[in-house]
């Protein structure tokens, strides 16, 4: 990993991490790790195989043997499970809900740890998640914690779903976001929190270009290794 530039971008759901990570990776010619997709893939497999969420050994086995392949697309990376494109399936609300439960299981996190570190190859990696800067890549040269108020994140999600023609309730979305935040921040293992040496960016009042510029400026101004 020594020759690879590692940029970690952590933060809560809806903070814009995914889009920003893609853009930063593209701007700098680096690979992209969407670590949330790994937890979503474990969730999808467990749902498909009918595995009980209390069956820790079976969930850890799924995490260890996940037959996933990530292929770069024009805009980012697409996940394939044994050749089947599952990019859309893993974004379903139900899968997200199960993902946040399997992500709280230490054995699942442990099983995914090395798999995530293996993405760190030269020239480098933008790693998007919750514990990229704290646990997976503690030695990363650049650590960003991207956040936004729960209200702003609920608004963004509301507009996104409305555009897709889905009818949703804004108060319900806000409740869901707050519940997921609480689960991600209060779990025993790898809770969502900024690394001590992370730069915190609150995007509530910022456009996406502004956030991208702010992160690229941090990358440019990093201290020499």
The Cα–Cα gap between 96 and 105 comes to 15
Nearer to ligand DC, 3 or 48 (CB): 48
- Tell me how far, at minimum, the Cβ of 193 lies from ligand DC, in Å: 12
Nearer to ligand DC, 16 or 129 (CB): 129
Beta carbons of 35 and 134 less than 8 angstroms apart? no
- Tell me how far, at minimum, the Cβ of 74 lies from ligand DC, in Å: 20
Q: What share of the chain is helix, strand, coil (3-state, %, to 5)?
A: 50, 15, 35
Copy the structure tokens of residue 16.
């814009």
Q: Which of residues 20-39 bind ligand DC (CB under 6 A)?
A: 35-36, 39
Q: Which of 40, 153, 156, 157 binds ligand DC (CB under 6 A)?
A: 40
- Tell me how far, at minimum, the Cβ of 221 lies from ligand DC, in Å: 26
Q: Which of residues 86-125 bind ligand DC (CB under 6 A)?
A: 96, 99-100, 103
Alpha helix stretches (DSSP H) within the chain: 17-28, 35-48, 56-65, 93-102, 106-117, 150-163, 170-186, 208-220
Q: Which of 7, 131, 157, 203 binds ligand DC (CB under 6 A)?
A: 131
In angstroms, the first-to-last Cα distance of the chain is 13
The Cα–Cα gap between 197 and 156 comes to 28
Q: Does 130 bind ligand DC (CB under 6 A)?
A: yes
Q: Which of residues 164-183 bind ligand DC (CB under 6 A)?
A: 180
- Vertex 61, ends 56 and 62: CA angle to 5°? 100
- Tell me how far, at minimum, the Cβ of 48 lies from ligand DC, in Å: 17
User: Residue with CB nearest ligand DC?
Assistant: 36
- Tell me how far, at minimum, the Cβ of 123 lies from ligand DC, in Å: 22
The Cα–Cα gap between 100 and 190 comes to 12
Q: Does 129 bind ligand DC (CB under 6 A)?
A: yes
Residues that bind ligand DC (CB under 6 A): 13, 35-36, 39-40, 96, 99-100, 103, 129-131, 180, 184
């Amino acid at each position: 990993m020594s020759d690879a530039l590692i940029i970690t971008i952590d933060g809560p759901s809806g903070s814009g991490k995914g889009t920003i990570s893609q853009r930063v990776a593209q701007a700098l010619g680096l690979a992209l790790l969407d670590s949330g997709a790994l937890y979503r893939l474990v969730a999808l497999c467990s749902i498909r195989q009918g595995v009980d969420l209390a069956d820790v050994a079976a969930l850890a086995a799924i995490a260890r043997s996940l037959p996933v392949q990530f292929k770069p697309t024009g805009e980012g990376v697409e996940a394939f499970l044994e050749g089947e494109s599952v990019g859309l399936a893993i974004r379903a609300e139900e899968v997200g809900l199960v993902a946040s439960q399997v992500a709280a299981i230490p054995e699942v996190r442990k099983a995914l740890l090395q798999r995530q570190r293996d993405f760190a190859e030269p020239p480098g990696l933008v790693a998007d998640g919750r514990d990229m800067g704290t646990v997976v890549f503690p030695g990363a040269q650049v650590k960003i914690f991207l956040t936004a108020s729960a209200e702003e994140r609920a608004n963004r999600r509301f507009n996104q779903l409305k555009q897709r023609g889905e009818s949703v309730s804004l108060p319900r979305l806000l409740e869901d976001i707050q519940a997921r935040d609480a689960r991600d921040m209060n779990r025993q293992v790898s809770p969502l929190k900024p690394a001590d040496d992370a730069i915190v960016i609150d995007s509530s009042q910022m456009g996406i270009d502004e956030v991208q510029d702010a992160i690229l400026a941090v990358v440019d101004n990093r201290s020499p290794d």
